[in-house]
A and B are shown apart, each in its own frame.
Chain A
Amino acid sequence: MASKVSLKGKRKAGKGSKGPEERSACKCFKEWSTWAMKKAKVITHYGFIPLIIIIGMNSEPKPQLYQLLSPV
Protein backbone atom coordinates (compact mmCIF):
# COMPACT_ATOMS: atom_id res chain seq x y z
CA MET A 1 0.00 0.00 0.00
CA ALA A 2 2.75 2.38 0.98
CA SER A 3 4.73 1.52 -2.16
CA LYS A 4 1.70 2.18 -4.37
CA VAL A 5 1.19 5.56 -2.77
CA SER A 6 4.83 6.47 -3.22
CA LEU A 7 4.76 5.36 -6.89
CA LYS A 8 1.75 7.55 -7.54
CA GLY A 9 3.51 10.41 -5.82
CA LYS A 10 6.59 9.97 -8.05
CA ARG A 11 4.51 9.88 -11.22
CA LYS A 12 2.71 13.04 -10.31
CA ALA A 13 6.00 14.72 -9.50
CA GLY A 14 7.34 13.53 -12.89
CA LYS A 15 4.46 15.11 -14.79
CA GLY A 16 4.53 18.21 -12.70
CA SER A 17 8.19 19.00 -13.46
CA LYS A 18 7.52 19.52 -17.16
CA GLY A 19 4.13 21.22 -16.62
CA PRO A 20 4.77 24.59 -14.98
CA GLU A 21 7.00 25.94 -17.80
CA GLU A 22 4.52 25.10 -20.52
CA ARG A 23 1.64 26.26 -18.40
CA SER A 24 3.26 29.58 -17.62
CA ALA A 25 4.05 30.14 -21.30
CA CYS A 26 0.43 29.46 -22.14
CA LYS A 27 -0.73 31.74 -19.35
CA CYS A 28 1.64 34.51 -20.43
CA PHE A 29 0.33 34.28 -23.97
CA LYS A 30 -3.26 34.33 -22.77
CA GLU A 31 -2.65 37.32 -20.52
CA TRP A 32 -0.92 39.24 -23.29
CA SER A 33 -3.60 38.44 -25.82
CA THR A 34 -6.33 39.45 -23.37
CA TRP A 35 -4.48 42.71 -22.64
CA ALA A 36 -4.05 43.33 -26.38
CA MET A 37 -7.71 42.63 -27.09
CA LYS A 38 -8.78 45.03 -24.34
CA LYS A 39 -6.55 47.78 -25.69
CA ALA A 40 -7.73 47.08 -29.24
CA LYS A 41 -11.33 47.32 -28.10
CA VAL A 42 -10.79 50.69 -26.45
CA ILE A 43 -8.87 52.03 -29.44
CA THR A 44 -11.56 50.85 -31.84
CA HIS A 45 -14.32 52.25 -29.67
CA TYR A 46 -12.83 55.73 -29.63
CA GLY A 47 -11.02 55.81 -32.91
CA PHE A 48 -13.15 54.06 -35.51
CA ILE A 49 -15.42 56.96 -36.43
CA PRO A 50 -12.57 59.53 -36.44
CA LEU A 51 -10.68 57.11 -38.70
CA ILE A 52 -13.56 57.01 -41.16
CA ILE A 53 -13.82 60.80 -41.10
CA ILE A 54 -10.10 61.21 -41.73
CA ILE A 55 -10.16 58.72 -44.61
CA GLY A 56 -13.24 60.42 -46.04
CA MET A 57 -11.82 63.93 -45.81
CA ASN A 58 -8.72 62.78 -47.69
CA SER A 59 -10.58 61.08 -50.51
CA GLU A 60 -11.04 62.61 -53.96
CA PRO A 61 -12.60 65.18 -54.56
CA LYS A 62 -11.28 66.62 -51.34
CA PRO A 63 -14.15 68.11 -49.32
CA GLN A 64 -13.90 71.25 -47.23
CA LEU A 65 -14.17 71.32 -43.45
CA TYR A 66 -17.41 73.35 -43.41
CA GLN A 67 -19.14 70.57 -45.39
CA LEU A 68 -18.58 68.29 -42.45
CA LEU A 69 -20.51 70.53 -40.08
CA SER A 70 -23.16 72.30 -42.13
CA PRO A 71 -26.56 70.69 -42.64
CA VAL A 72 -26.87 71.69 -46.29
Chain B
Amino acid sequence: MGSSVSHAGAPPPSPAAAPTPPIPVGLAAALPPNPEVQGDAKGVSEKVDWLNLPCPVAFEEIQREALMSLKPELFEGLRFDFTKGINQTFALSHSVFMGSMEVPSQSSDIIKVPTAHYEFGANFLDPKMMLIGRILTDGRLNARVKCDLTDNLTLKINAQLTNEPHFSQGMFNFDYKGQDFRSQFQIGNNAFYGANYIQSVSPRLSLGSEVFWLGHQRKSGIGFAARYNTDKMVTTGQVASTGIVALSYVQKVSEKVSLASEFMYNHMTRDVTSSFGYDYILRQCRLRGKLDSNGVVAAFLEERLNMGVNLLLSAEVRRIDHSKKDYKFGFGMTVGE
Protein backbone atom coordinates (compact mmCIF):
# COMPACT_ATOMS: atom_id res chain seq x y z
CA MET B 1 0.00 0.00 0.00
CA GLY B 2 1.10 3.57 -0.51
CA SER B 3 1.50 4.34 3.14
CA SER B 4 3.57 1.25 3.83
CA VAL B 5 6.55 2.75 2.00
CA SER B 6 7.13 5.44 4.60
CA HIS B 7 6.37 3.15 7.49
CA ALA B 8 8.54 0.26 6.47
CA GLY B 9 11.63 1.81 8.00
CA ALA B 10 10.06 2.06 11.47
CA PRO B 11 7.87 -0.60 13.07
CA PRO B 12 4.47 1.06 13.44
CA PRO B 13 1.11 -0.70 13.38
CA SER B 14 0.17 -1.92 9.95
CA PRO B 15 -3.35 -1.60 8.68
CA ALA B 16 -5.36 -4.80 8.76
CA ALA B 17 -5.39 -6.78 5.50
CA ALA B 18 -8.75 -7.24 3.84
CA PRO B 19 -10.32 -10.36 5.36
CA THR B 20 -12.86 -10.98 2.60
CA PRO B 21 -11.89 -13.23 -0.30
CA PRO B 22 -10.56 -11.32 -3.34
CA ILE B 23 -13.20 -10.22 -5.79
CA PRO B 24 -11.92 -10.13 -9.39
CA VAL B 25 -12.08 -6.52 -10.48
CA GLY B 26 -11.01 -5.65 -13.98
CA LEU B 27 -8.45 -2.95 -14.54
CA ALA B 28 -11.03 -1.04 -16.59
CA ALA B 29 -13.19 -0.73 -13.51
CA ALA B 30 -10.25 0.30 -11.35
CA LEU B 31 -8.96 3.15 -13.52
CA PRO B 32 -10.96 6.39 -13.70
CA PRO B 33 -12.53 7.11 -17.09
CA ASN B 34 -10.55 9.36 -19.37
CA PRO B 35 -12.20 12.80 -19.19
CA GLU B 36 -10.92 13.84 -22.59
CA VAL B 37 -12.75 11.15 -24.49
CA GLN B 38 -15.90 13.23 -24.54
CA GLY B 39 -14.17 16.10 -26.31
CA ASP B 40 -12.56 13.91 -28.94
CA ALA B 41 -15.10 14.70 -31.62
CA LYS B 42 -13.38 18.07 -32.11
CA GLY B 43 -10.17 16.49 -33.36
CA VAL B 44 -6.61 17.27 -32.47
CA SER B 45 -6.56 19.60 -29.47
CA GLU B 46 -8.29 18.58 -26.26
CA LYS B 47 -9.40 21.25 -23.88
CA VAL B 48 -8.46 20.65 -20.28
CA ASP B 49 -10.86 22.13 -17.78
CA TRP B 50 -8.39 23.13 -15.10
CA LEU B 51 -11.11 23.98 -12.62
CA ASN B 52 -12.79 20.62 -12.94
CA LEU B 53 -10.07 18.09 -12.36
CA PRO B 54 -11.09 14.60 -11.30
CA CYS B 55 -10.81 13.48 -7.72
CA PRO B 56 -7.60 11.52 -7.26
CA VAL B 57 -7.20 8.05 -5.88
CA ALA B 58 -6.61 7.90 -2.12
CA PHE B 59 -2.98 8.17 -1.05
CA GLU B 60 -2.67 4.64 0.31
CA GLU B 61 -4.12 3.27 -2.89
CA ILE B 62 -1.98 4.93 -5.50
CA GLN B 63 -0.24 1.64 -6.14
CA ARG B 64 -3.39 -0.46 -6.09
CA GLU B 65 -3.23 -1.68 -9.68
CA ALA B 66 0.33 -2.84 -9.19
CA LEU B 67 -0.49 -4.45 -5.87
CA MET B 68 -3.52 -6.24 -7.29
CA SER B 69 -1.35 -7.87 -9.93
CA LEU B 70 1.84 -8.41 -7.97
CA LYS B 71 0.63 -9.28 -4.52
CA PRO B 72 -2.12 -11.87 -4.64
CA GLU B 73 -2.98 -13.57 -1.35
CA LEU B 74 -0.68 -16.55 -1.67
CA PHE B 75 -1.18 -19.21 0.95
CA GLU B 76 -0.02 -22.72 1.76
CA GLY B 77 -2.41 -25.49 2.66
CA LEU B 78 -6.15 -25.77 2.48
CA ARG B 79 -8.50 -22.83 2.58
CA PHE B 80 -12.26 -22.93 2.52
CA ASP B 81 -14.44 -19.82 2.73
CA PHE B 82 -18.17 -19.81 2.94
CA THR B 83 -20.13 -16.58 2.86
CA LYS B 84 -23.80 -16.75 3.64
CA GLY B 85 -25.82 -13.70 2.74
CA ILE B 86 -28.78 -13.27 5.03
CA ASN B 87 -29.88 -9.92 3.77
CA GLN B 88 -28.87 -7.36 1.17
CA THR B 89 -26.72 -5.73 3.80
CA PHE B 90 -25.92 -8.48 6.30
CA ALA B 91 -23.79 -11.59 5.75
CA LEU B 92 -22.00 -14.16 7.86
CA SER B 93 -18.82 -15.88 6.80
CA HIS B 94 -17.10 -19.04 7.92
CA SER B 95 -13.55 -19.80 6.93
CA VAL B 96 -11.35 -22.81 7.60
CA PHE B 97 -7.62 -22.89 7.09
CA MET B 98 -5.28 -25.85 7.52
CA GLY B 99 -1.67 -25.51 6.58
CA SER B 100 1.77 -24.36 7.50
CA MET B 101 2.56 -20.90 8.66
CA GLU B 102 6.07 -19.60 8.46
CA VAL B 103 7.67 -18.53 11.69
CA PRO B 104 10.25 -15.81 11.15
CA SER B 105 13.64 -17.00 12.28
CA GLN B 106 17.05 -15.38 12.55
CA SER B 107 18.92 -18.10 10.71
CA SER B 108 18.39 -18.71 7.05
CA ASP B 109 16.33 -21.84 7.76
CA ILE B 110 12.64 -21.65 7.20
CA ILE B 111 10.63 -22.90 10.13
CA LYS B 112 7.12 -23.96 9.29
CA VAL B 113 4.57 -24.64 11.93
CA PRO B 114 1.43 -26.57 11.01
CA THR B 115 -1.60 -24.61 12.10
CA ALA B 116 -5.31 -24.76 11.64
CA HIS B 117 -7.94 -22.24 12.49
CA TYR B 118 -11.58 -21.45 11.98
CA GLU B 119 -12.65 -17.90 11.46
CA PHE B 120 -16.13 -16.58 11.95
CA GLY B 121 -17.06 -13.27 10.46
CA ALA B 122 -19.98 -10.92 10.18
CA ASN B 123 -20.36 -8.16 7.60
CA PHE B 124 -22.79 -5.32 7.60
CA LEU B 125 -22.64 -3.28 4.41
CA ASP B 126 -24.77 -0.19 4.22
CA PRO B 127 -24.22 2.64 1.74
CA LYS B 128 -23.32 4.84 4.69
CA MET B 129 -21.69 2.42 7.07
CA MET B 130 -19.65 -0.71 6.70
CA LEU B 131 -18.85 -3.00 9.63
CA ILE B 132 -16.67 -6.06 9.17
CA GLY B 133 -15.61 -8.28 12.03
CA ARG B 134 -13.63 -11.51 11.97
CA ILE B 135 -12.76 -13.62 14.97
CA LEU B 136 -10.38 -16.58 14.97
CA THR B 137 -10.24 -19.60 17.20
CA ASP B 138 -7.19 -18.26 19.00
CA GLY B 139 -9.12 -15.21 20.06
CA ARG B 140 -7.82 -12.65 17.61
CA LEU B 141 -10.34 -10.13 16.36
CA ASN B 142 -10.01 -8.18 13.11
CA ALA B 143 -12.40 -5.28 13.02
CA ARG B 144 -12.98 -2.74 10.29
CA VAL B 145 -15.44 0.10 10.43
CA LYS B 146 -16.06 2.61 7.67
CA CYS B 147 -18.60 5.31 8.30
CA ASP B 148 -19.58 8.26 6.11
CA LEU B 149 -20.09 11.04 8.60
CA THR B 150 -20.98 13.55 5.91
CA ASP B 151 -20.76 13.51 2.11
CA ASN B 152 -17.09 14.36 2.17
CA LEU B 153 -15.87 13.16 5.56
CA THR B 154 -15.31 9.47 6.24
CA LEU B 155 -14.17 7.75 9.39
CA LYS B 156 -12.34 4.44 9.10
CA ILE B 157 -11.25 2.27 11.99
CA ASN B 158 -8.99 -0.78 11.64
CA ALA B 159 -8.20 -2.88 14.66
CA GLN B 160 -6.55 -6.19 15.41
CA LEU B 161 -7.15 -7.21 18.99
CA THR B 162 -5.47 -10.17 20.62
CA ASN B 163 -5.61 -11.83 23.99
CA GLU B 164 -1.92 -11.31 24.55
CA PRO B 165 -1.16 -7.95 26.06
CA HIS B 166 0.69 -5.32 24.01
CA PHE B 167 0.08 -7.08 20.71
CA SER B 168 -3.12 -5.31 19.74
CA GLN B 169 -3.14 -2.65 17.08
CA GLY B 170 -5.64 -0.05 16.12
CA MET B 171 -5.82 2.83 13.70
CA PHE B 172 -8.33 5.65 13.26
CA ASN B 173 -8.45 7.41 9.90
CA PHE B 174 -10.36 10.58 9.10
CA ASP B 175 -10.65 11.14 5.35
CA TYR B 176 -11.75 14.37 3.79
CA LYS B 177 -12.51 14.39 0.10
CA GLY B 178 -12.55 17.66 -1.80
CA GLN B 179 -13.35 18.27 -5.43
CA ASP B 180 -9.87 17.51 -6.69
CA PHE B 181 -7.98 16.52 -3.58
CA ARG B 182 -8.09 14.07 -0.73
CA SER B 183 -6.62 14.41 2.70
CA GLN B 184 -6.37 11.98 5.57
CA PHE B 185 -5.43 12.15 9.20
CA GLN B 186 -4.45 8.99 11.07
CA ILE B 187 -4.15 8.18 14.76
CA GLY B 188 -2.80 4.81 15.76
CA ASN B 189 -1.76 2.99 18.89
CA ASN B 190 1.76 3.45 20.23
CA ALA B 191 1.15 7.20 19.73
CA PHE B 192 1.28 7.06 15.96
CA TYR B 193 0.06 10.13 14.11
CA GLY B 194 0.06 10.53 10.38
CA ALA B 195 -1.40 12.78 7.74
CA ASN B 196 -1.41 12.65 3.99
CA TYR B 197 -2.66 14.77 1.16
CA ILE B 198 -3.03 14.11 -2.55
CA GLN B 199 -4.03 16.61 -5.23
CA SER B 200 -4.92 16.28 -8.90
CA VAL B 201 -2.57 18.52 -10.83
CA SER B 202 -3.80 17.62 -14.27
CA PRO B 203 -6.44 15.18 -15.53
CA ARG B 204 -3.82 12.45 -15.51
CA LEU B 205 -1.27 13.43 -12.90
CA SER B 206 -1.72 13.61 -9.18
CA LEU B 207 0.87 14.44 -6.55
CA GLY B 208 0.74 13.71 -2.88
CA SER B 209 2.75 13.71 0.29
CA GLU B 210 2.53 12.28 3.76
CA VAL B 211 4.05 12.85 7.16
CA PHE B 212 4.02 10.61 10.20
CA TRP B 213 5.18 10.77 13.78
CA LEU B 214 5.83 7.82 16.10
CA GLY B 215 5.51 8.97 19.67
CA HIS B 216 7.14 6.14 21.55
CA GLN B 217 10.23 5.99 19.40
CA ARG B 218 10.36 9.71 18.63
CA LYS B 219 10.64 9.04 14.92
CA SER B 220 9.09 11.07 12.18
CA GLY B 221 9.08 10.78 8.46
CA ILE B 222 7.90 12.46 5.32
CA GLY B 223 7.20 11.01 1.93
CA PHE B 224 6.19 12.16 -1.53
CA ALA B 225 4.28 10.32 -4.21
CA ALA B 226 3.19 10.88 -7.75
CA ARG B 227 0.77 8.99 -9.95
CA TYR B 228 0.31 9.37 -13.68
CA ASN B 229 -2.37 7.37 -15.40
CA THR B 230 -4.00 7.11 -18.76
CA ASP B 231 -6.64 4.57 -19.61
CA LYS B 232 -3.96 2.15 -20.76
CA MET B 233 -1.31 2.50 -18.12
CA VAL B 234 -0.61 3.65 -14.60
CA THR B 235 2.75 4.66 -13.27
CA THR B 236 3.54 5.69 -9.73
CA GLY B 237 6.61 6.76 -7.82
CA GLN B 238 7.16 7.16 -4.10
CA VAL B 239 10.05 8.50 -2.10
CA ALA B 240 10.17 8.50 1.69
CA SER B 241 12.54 9.86 4.29
CA THR B 242 12.89 6.34 5.71
CA GLY B 243 15.08 5.77 2.69
CA ILE B 244 12.65 3.90 0.49
CA VAL B 245 12.11 4.56 -3.17
CA ALA B 246 9.33 2.63 -4.88
CA LEU B 247 8.36 2.84 -8.52
CA SER B 248 5.70 0.88 -10.31
CA TYR B 249 4.34 0.63 -13.81
CA VAL B 250 1.20 -1.20 -14.95
CA GLN B 251 0.30 -1.52 -18.59
CA LYS B 252 -3.07 -2.74 -19.74
CA VAL B 253 -2.16 -4.67 -22.83
CA SER B 254 -5.69 -5.66 -23.72
CA GLU B 255 -9.10 -6.03 -22.07
CA LYS B 256 -8.04 -9.29 -20.54
CA VAL B 257 -4.34 -8.92 -19.92
CA SER B 258 -2.33 -6.49 -17.91
CA LEU B 259 1.34 -6.50 -17.02
CA ALA B 260 2.90 -4.89 -13.99
CA SER B 261 6.37 -4.18 -12.77
CA GLU B 262 7.71 -2.76 -9.55
CA PHE B 263 11.04 -1.56 -8.28
CA MET B 264 11.85 -0.93 -4.63
CA TYR B 265 15.08 0.38 -3.18
CA ASN B 266 15.78 0.64 0.52
CA HIS B 267 18.62 3.00 1.23
CA MET B 268 19.08 1.95 4.87
CA THR B 269 19.54 -1.72 4.19
CA ARG B 270 20.83 -1.29 0.63
CA ASP B 271 18.17 -3.68 -0.54
CA VAL B 272 16.92 -3.67 -4.09
CA THR B 273 13.94 -5.66 -5.27
CA SER B 274 12.28 -5.66 -8.60
CA SER B 275 9.38 -7.79 -9.68
CA PHE B 276 7.35 -8.41 -12.79
CA GLY B 277 3.88 -9.80 -12.93
CA TYR B 278 0.97 -10.54 -15.18
CA ASP B 279 -2.74 -10.56 -14.63
CA TYR B 280 -5.07 -12.43 -16.96
CA ILE B 281 -8.73 -11.70 -16.36
CA LEU B 282 -10.66 -14.20 -18.43
CA ARG B 283 -14.30 -15.06 -18.45
CA GLN B 284 -14.12 -17.99 -16.07
CA CYS B 285 -10.89 -17.42 -14.26
CA ARG B 286 -8.32 -14.95 -13.10
CA LEU B 287 -4.67 -15.91 -13.26
CA ARG B 288 -1.94 -13.83 -11.68
CA GLY B 289 1.72 -14.61 -11.63
CA LYS B 290 4.91 -12.91 -10.67
CA LEU B 291 8.65 -13.22 -10.91
CA ASP B 292 10.93 -11.53 -8.44
CA SER B 293 14.57 -10.57 -8.23
CA ASN B 294 14.72 -12.37 -4.87
CA GLY B 295 14.20 -15.60 -6.76
CA VAL B 296 10.49 -15.90 -6.07
CA VAL B 297 8.19 -17.30 -8.73
CA ALA B 298 4.54 -17.39 -7.81
CA ALA B 299 1.17 -17.95 -9.42
CA PHE B 300 -2.38 -17.65 -8.20
CA LEU B 301 -5.48 -18.91 -9.96
CA GLU B 302 -9.12 -18.25 -9.16
CA GLU B 303 -11.46 -20.29 -11.31
CA ARG B 304 -15.18 -19.83 -11.31
CA LEU B 305 -16.66 -23.30 -11.35
CA ASN B 306 -20.25 -22.36 -10.93
CA MET B 307 -22.33 -19.42 -9.77
CA GLY B 308 -20.75 -18.39 -6.51
CA VAL B 309 -18.24 -21.27 -6.32
CA ASN B 310 -14.61 -20.45 -6.92
CA LEU B 311 -11.60 -22.70 -6.91
CA LEU B 312 -8.31 -21.25 -5.70
CA LEU B 313 -4.83 -22.54 -6.46
CA SER B 314 -1.71 -20.87 -5.17
CA ALA B 315 1.91 -21.84 -5.78
CA GLU B 316 5.18 -20.22 -4.83
CA VAL B 317 8.82 -21.21 -5.23
CA ARG B 318 11.32 -19.22 -3.27
CA ARG B 319 15.10 -19.43 -3.44
CA ILE B 320 16.51 -19.10 0.08
CA ASP B 321 20.15 -19.22 -0.87
CA HIS B 322 22.16 -20.79 -3.66
CA SER B 323 21.26 -24.33 -2.76
CA LYS B 324 18.00 -24.32 -0.84
CA LYS B 325 14.53 -23.73 -2.14
CA ASP B 326 11.19 -23.44 -0.44
CA TYR B 327 7.99 -24.62 -2.09
CA LYS B 328 4.49 -23.65 -1.14
CA PHE B 329 1.30 -24.97 -2.60
CA GLY B 330 -2.20 -24.12 -1.54
CA PHE B 331 -5.64 -24.97 -2.75
CA GLY B 332 -9.03 -23.88 -1.64
CA MET B 333 -12.58 -23.12 -2.43
CA THR B 334 -14.74 -20.06 -1.93
CA VAL B 335 -18.48 -20.45 -1.76
CA GLY B 336 -20.77 -17.46 -1.75
CA GLU B 337 -20.39 -13.94 -3.01
Q: Which residues of A contact B (CB under 8 A)?
A: 41, 44-45, 48-49, 51-53, 55-57, 59, 61, 63, 67-68, 71
Size of interface on B: residues with Cβ below 8 Å to A: 23
Q: Does B58 contact A (CB under 8 A)?
A: no
Q: Does B86 contact A (CB under 8 A)?
A: yes
Q: Does B131 contact A (CB under 8 A)?
A: yes
CB-CB contacts below 8 Å: B61-89 with A? 82, 84, 86-89
In the complex, are the beta carbons of A41 and B168 less than 8 A apart?
yes
In the complex, are the beta carbons of A57 and B90 less than 8 A apart?
yes
Stretch from B118-126, B212-220, B275-283, B313-321 forming part of the interface with A: B118-126
Taken residue by residue from 103 to 143, chain B's Cβ proximity to chain A (1 for < 8 Å, 0 otherwise) reads as 00000000000000000111110100001110100000101
In the complex, are the beta carbons of A59 and B123 less than 8 A apart?
no
Q: Which residues of B contact A (CB under 8 A)?
A: 82, 84, 86-90, 92, 120-124, 126, 131-133, 135, 141, 143, 159, 161, 168
Return the chain B residue nearest A37 by Cβ.
B189
Given contacts A41-B168, A56-B122, 19 further A-B contacts (CB under 8 A): A41-B161, A44-B159, A44-B161, A48-B133, A48-B143, A51-B131, A52-B122, A52-B124, A52-B132, A52-B133, A55-B124, A55-B131, A56-B87, A56-B124, A57-B90, A59-B89, A61-B87, A63-B86, A67-B86
Name the 9 nearest CB pairs between A and B, nearest first: A56-B90, A52-B122, A49-B133, A45-B161, A63-B86, A52-B131, A48-B133, A67-B86, A56-B124
| Closest-CB distance, A40 to chain B (whole angstroms) | 10
Chain B residues near A63: list those with CB within 8 A.
Answer: 86-87, 90
Chain A residues near B92: list those with CB within 8 A.
Answer: 68
Return the chain B residue nearest A49 by Cβ.
B133
The CA of A44 and the CA of B88, in the complex, are separated in Å by 25
User: Given A48-B133, A63-B86, A63-B90 in contact, is the A53-B122 Cβ separation under 8 Å?
Assistant: yes
Chain B residues near A48: list those with CB within 8 A.
Answer: 133, 141, 143
